[in-house]
A = this chain, B = another copy of it.
């Protein structure tokens, strides 16, 4: 039904190769011929079939974007930004959700491999070894994880965690709960790394946890019981869950316990109390990941984006 290169060729009496060149190597065809071809193509509504083109060129102009959980509010802005940036470069994006399951992640990458020029892996749950293995078949850019020799977009979680801890220390908090995320999460490790060096603070670790509101809800009792006056949560969802869980136990935030999240997602901004959080540059990360994928000659360039502490209403002076 749709017009092919042959139809165009026939319509203006030239060989298909001339039509092909009109689009992929315009300088090789006579301006007069070219405009005839263009006119015919336009007339027939011809659009080159990208899949067919990919067959010979090896470039699909597609990319994959794999995230652990699309409905985690952290990802949509990143997805949106990546997708927009890709479109600007004439690329289309397959978006897939792994449900936080490494096996799904692997299978997804495998089936995607042939039809994309590269894959953006956001907060992957696969092991480094597996990722390195898969990288032999398709270029990756990893977001939120450091893997040696692999292009990555990192957010400076350590810096953010430090800012958060400093902020809490400045408010007089000494005993602070650290509510981590899922096993294998790079972000979680970074946070713990910073925490381990934090001098003069008394840190209590809780984890692993689901990186969701219910994860926060679930640990709230333990956190309340441990005697901490402040919590640094894996992300805003967990933080919101904590706030809710604490509220259910009649523990006020920030009056009795201060809570800091990570990400700066919309629900945190709208919440009462508005959540103090370490803002992650998700939009920038999405754009950057696309750029890295497309420009990288395969080199493992790593970009680290700054984070920022946004003090809102969920943190206050330590209760004495």
Residues of chain A touching chain B, judged by Cβ–Cβ distance below 8 Å, are 1-2, 47, 49-52, 54-55, 60, 62, 69-71, 73, 75-77, 79-80, 83-84, 87, 92-97, 99, 108, 110-115, 137, 213, 240, 244, 266-267, 270-272
Give min CB distance, A284 to chain B, whole Å. Answer: 14
- Interface contact B2-A113, CB-CB below 8 Å: yes
Pick the contact of A80: B70, B87, B92, B267 (CB < 8 A).
B70
Pick the contact of A95: B60, B77, B95 (CB < 8 A).
B95
A108 contacts across to B, CB distance below 8 A = 87
A83 contacts across to B, CB distance below 8 A = 70, 95-97
Find the B residue at minimum CB distance from A55: B52
Give min CB distance, A216 to chain B, whole Å. Answer: 11
- Interface contact B266-A114, CB-CB below 8 Å: no
Pick the contact of A93: B96, B113, B213, B266 (CB < 8 A).
B96
- Interface contact B113-A97, CB-CB below 8 Å: no
A70 contacts across to B, CB distance below 8 A = 76-77, 79-80, 83
- Interface contact B71-A60, CB-CB below 8 Å: no
How far is it, in angstroms, between the C-alpha of A54 and the C-alpha of B49 when the chains are bound? Answer: 11
Pick the contact of A240: B2, B87, B270 (CB < 8 A).
B270
Find the B residue at minimum CB distance from A49: B114
How far is it, in angstroms, between the C-alpha of A73 and the C-alpha of B47 when the chains are bound? Answer: 34
A69 contacts across to B, CB distance below 8 A = 80
- Interface contact A75-B73, CB-CB below 8 Å: no
How far is it, in angstroms, between the C-alpha of A76 and the C-alpha of B74 when the chains are bound? Answer: 11
A213 contacts across to B, CB distance below 8 A = 266, 270
- Interface contact A93-B95, CB-CB below 8 Å: yes
Pick the contact of A77: B1, B71, B115 (CB < 8 A).
B71
Find the B residue at minimum CB distance from A1: B137
How far is it, in angstroms, between the C-alpha of A112 and the C-alpha of B71 when the chains are bound? Answer: 24
Give min CB distance, A137 to chain B, whole Å. Answer: 6
How far is it, in angstroms, between the C-alpha of A52 and the C-alpha of B69 when the chains are bound? Answer: 30
- Interface contact B266-A73, CB-CB below 8 Å: yes
How far is it, in angstroms, between the C-alpha of A110 and the C-alpha of B99 when the chains are bound? Answer: 31
Find the B residue at minimum CB distance from A64: B92
- Interface contact A92-B73, CB-CB below 8 Å: no
A266 contacts across to B, CB distance below 8 A = 71, 73, 213, 267
How far is it, in angstroms, between the C-alpha of A55 and the C-alpha of B54 when the chains are bound? Answer: 11
- Interface contact B94-A92, CB-CB below 8 Å: yes
| Interchain Cβ contacts under 8 Å between A and B, 15 examples | A49-B55, A49-B114, A51-B51, A51-B54, A55-B55, A62-B115, A70-B76, A73-B73, A92-B115, A93-B95, A213-B266, A244-B270, A267-B267, A267-B271, A272-B272
